[in-house]
Structure 1
Amino acid sequence: MLKVAWSQIYAHPLPEGHRFPMEKYELLPEQLLYEGTLSDENFFKPETAEEKWILEIHDESYLHKLKSLNLSPSEIRRTGFPLSKALVEREIHIMQGSMMAATYALDSGIGMNIAGGTHHAYNDKGEGFCLLNDIAITAAYLIKEKGLKKVLVVDLDVHQGNGTAKIFEDNPQVFTFSMHGAHNYPLHKEKSDLDVPLEDKTGDSSYLKLLNRYLPELLDTIEPDFIIFQSGVDVLETDKLGRLGLSIRGCRERDRVVLEAARLHQIPIMCCMGGGYAKKINDIIEAHANTFRLAQEIFF
C-alpha cells in the first residue's frame, strides 16, 4: 500500500497575501481522497523528528536559534517566512514525514510526503522557504540507521537544490543530480554532482529528452540503493516563480520517467513535493496530484 505523510500542521497559515501557497497542503489531500486515488488508510501522520537526525545535517547552534526564534532579521528575510514557533514545529514534522516515507519505501518500493523537498536549507542557515533540509536529513537517516551505501537525489524542482548540493559536496555516499532553470533563483548556484541548467522557456520535448538521457546513465553508473525525488511542479509554464515552459502533461511525463525508472531498477524511492507557485491553484493541485496517481499506477 502507498503510504503518504500528511498532517494538518502542514497547512500552517501564513499572513494573508503571502506568496507561498500553503493552501495546497490542504487541497491536495482533499483532491486525492475525492477522486479515489488515495483513501484514509494511505495517509500517516508524522510526529516530531528526533533532534539527533536533524543534527546529523544541521549545526546545533543553528537549530537552537531556530527553535528559540532567535534568528536575526536578515536570517529571517532569507527564509522568506515570518518566523514563528508554529512554523518551526511544522518544519520539524515535515522532516519526520520524509524519513518515515523513506522507511515505508524500503518495504513497498515507494513512499511519499505531501510536503518536503526543502532543498535550499544549508547546514547553518535557511533560505528560499526552507528552514531545515528534509532531503539531506532523510539521506543521512537512510545511511546511518538503515545501512544504505548510496543515495541518489533526483532534484527536478525549477530551482537548483543548492543547500543539498553544498551539504553533500564531500560525501561520496550521496549523489546530487539537479535539473533546474539556469537563470532562476538561487543567483549563486552550488556545485551538485551533476547539474543540468536549462534555458528559459525550455519546454516538454527538450526537457524530457535531457531527463531520458541523464537519468538512465546515472542509475547504471551509480547503482544507488535509494532515490530521493524532489518533484517540484514550479517547472510549469504558468508558474509565477519559475521560468521554464512545461505543460501539466509534460510535468506528468517527467514524473513517469523517474518513477518507472525506479520501479524497473527495483530502487526504493521517496517523493517529496517541492515547489509550485502557478497563478491558478488548480494547476498546482493537478500537477502535484499526477505524481500520486502515477505512484499508484506504477507501483500498485
Structure 2
Amino acid sequence: MQLFYHHLYSALPLPERHRFPIKKYQLLKTAIAELGVTAEQFKQPVKASAAQLALCHSEHYIHQFINGTLSDNAIKKMGFPHSQALVERTLYSVGASIQAAEHALNSGLSANLSGGYHHAYRESGSGYCIFNDLAVAAAHLITSEQASTVLILDCDVHQGDGTAEIAQCHNNIITCSIHCEANFPRIKQHSDYDFALPAHTTDPDYLATLKQALAFCVRIHQPDIILYNAGADIYEKDELGLFNVSLAGVYQRDYHVINFCKQQQIPLMCALGGGYQRQQSEVVKVHKQLFQAALDLY
C-alpha cells in the first residue's frame, strides 16, 4: 500500500483556537508508522497543475486563489485565512490524490493522508475545502484515458455537495454520498445516489446502508476504480458529527470497503475526509482505523 504524504499537511499556520485540527496529519503519520508501515511506503506528492484543477474548477477561481485575490466573503466561506502556505499545501494535497488514484490503478490500493475536500464547488471553496481533490482525480483519470468510469464513494458524515455539483458536468463520474441528513450543508445538492441517514444512526443501520449502497453502485456502473472519502466524523464522539457510530463501527466500515474492492478486484484510492475533536490525538485514533483495516487485509 502506497501512502502519499507531505509535511505541509500539518505545517499550515492557523489562528489560535481555529476549529480545523491541522496537526492530525503529522500525528496520523506517526501512528501509522507504529502500526508497521515502513518509510518506503510514504511517498511525497508533486503539486497539482492549473490544467488539472481546471478539469473541475473555473480558471477564474483557480487564478484568484493561487494569486491571493479572493474576496473576503470567499475566504470566509472557505474557512481558512489565505496565505502562500495554504496555496502550497492545497496544490500538494490535490496532487497527492491524483497520484494516489493513478497508483491504485496499478497496485490495487493506495491512500492520501489528506484529501476528501468534498465541499469545494466549481467556482468556490467551502467548509475547509478549496479544490475538490477526488473530483479532480476522477476527471484526470477519465481525461487521460486511464479509466472510463469512476465511482466516488463519500462516507464523510457531511454530504459531498461540491462533488455532486461538479460531477453533474461529468457523466462518467458517479457520486454516492452516505451522510447525516441533519448535518452541514444546510442546502444539499443531488449526488447520483444520496443516502441521507437520520441523526444518531448507530452501527447496524449505518453498516447495512453502506453495504447495500456500495454493492448497488458497483453492480449498476461497474467502475474502473473507486475513490473513497473515509471521513472519521461518523464517529460518535466527533464534535461536528451527529451519528452514534462506534470506533469498532468505523473499523468495520473501512474493512468492508477495502475487502469488497479486494474481492471484486476494483482498485481503491482512499482519502481521509473530516474528523473533528479538540484533542487531536483522539481523532487520529479514528482515522487510524482505515489503515489498520488495510494492513489486516493486505
Q: TM-score, normalised by structure 2?
A: 0.97
Hey, what does 1:226 align to over in structure 2? 225
1:121-146 Cα shifts (integer Å, max 9, x gaps): 01110000001110111001111124
Q: Does 1:80 align with 2:82?
A: no
Work out the CA distance in 1 between the residues paired with 2:46 and 2:278: 32
Amino acid of the structure 2 residue aligned with 1:211: L
Work out the CA distance in 2 between the residues paired with 1:159 and 1:111: 23
Q: Does 1:61 align with 2:44?
A: no
Amino acid of the structure 2 residue aligned with 1:34: E
Hey, what does 1:98 align to over in structure 2? 97
Work out the CA distance in 1 between the residues paired with 2:35 and 2:271: 21
Unaligned runs of 5+ in 1: none
CA separation of 1:279 and 1:15: change in aligned 2, threshold 3 A = closer
Hey, what does 1:46 align to over in structure 2? 45
Q: Does 1:25 align with 2:4?
A: no
SS of equivalent residue, structure 1 residue 237: coil
Q: Does the 8 A contact of 2:132 with 2:162 survive in 1?
A: yes
Q: Does 1:248 align with 2:247?
A: yes
Unaligned runs of 5+ in 2: none
Work out the CA distance in 2 between the residues paired with 1:247 and 1:293: 16
Q: Does the 8 A contact of 1:156 with 1:230 survive in 2?
A: yes
Q: Does 1:126 align with 2:135?
A: no
Moved over 4 A (4+): none
SS of equivalent residue, structure 1 residue 234: helix
Q: Does the 8 A contact of 1:239 with 1:279 survive in 2?
A: no
Q: Does the 8 A contact of 2:35 with 2:292 survive in 1?
A: no
Instruction: Give the superposition deviation at 1:297.
Output: 2.3
Work out the CA distance in 1 between the residues paired with 2:225 and 2:212: 20
Work out the CA distance in 2 between the residues paired with 1:7 and 1:158: 25
Work out the CA distance in 2 between the residues paired with 1:245 and 1:142: 36
Hey, what does 1:35 align to over in structure 2? 35
Work out the CA distance in 2 between the residues paired with 1:67 and 1:281: 29
Q: Does the 8 A contact of 2:177 with 2:194 survive in 1?
A: yes
Work out the CA distance in 2 between the residues paired with 1:163 and 1:242: 18
For residues 137-216 of structure 1, the aligned pairs below 5 Å read 137-216=136-215
Work out the CA distance in 2 between the residues paired with 1:253 and 1:39: 24
SS of equivalent residue, structure 1 residue 91: helix
Q: TM-score, normalised by structure 1?
A: 0.97
Q: Does the 8 A contact of 1:238 with 1:279 survive in 2?
A: no
Instruction: Give the superposition deviation at 1:85.
Output: 1.1
Instruction: Supply the RMSD in Å over aligned alpha carbons.
Output: 1.1
Work out the CA distance in 2 between the residues paired with 1:285 and 1:112: 15
Q: Does the 8 A contact of 1:110 with 1:268 survive in 2?
A: yes
Q: Does the 8 A contact of 1:239 with 1:277 survive in 2?
A: yes
Instruction: Give the superposition deviation at 1:112.
Output: 0.3
Hey, what does 2:281 align to over in structure 1? 282
Amino acid of the structure 2 residue aligned with 1:217: F
Work out the CA distance in 2 between the residues paired with 1:147 and 1:115: 23
Work out the CA distance in 2 between the residues paired with 1:104 and 1:170: 25
SS of equivalent residue, structure 1 residue 57: coil
SS of equivalent residue, structure 2 residue 232: coil
Instruction: Give the superposition deviation at 1:281.
Output: 2.4
Hey, what does 2:70 align to over in structure 1? 71
Instruction: Give the superposition deviation at 1:89.
Output: 1.1
Work out the CA distance in 1 between the residues paired with 2:124 and 2:229: 20
1:26-59 Cα shifts (integer Å, max 9, x gaps): 10001111232x1100000012112211111111
SS of equivalent residue, structure 1 residue 149: coil
Hey, what does 2:290 align to over in structure 1? 291
SS of equivalent residue, structure 1 residue 34: helix
Instruction: Give the superposition deviation at 1:283.
Output: 2.9
Work out the CA distance in 2 between the residues paired with 1:283 and 1:250: 16
Instruction: Give the superposition deviation at 1:282.
Output: 3.1
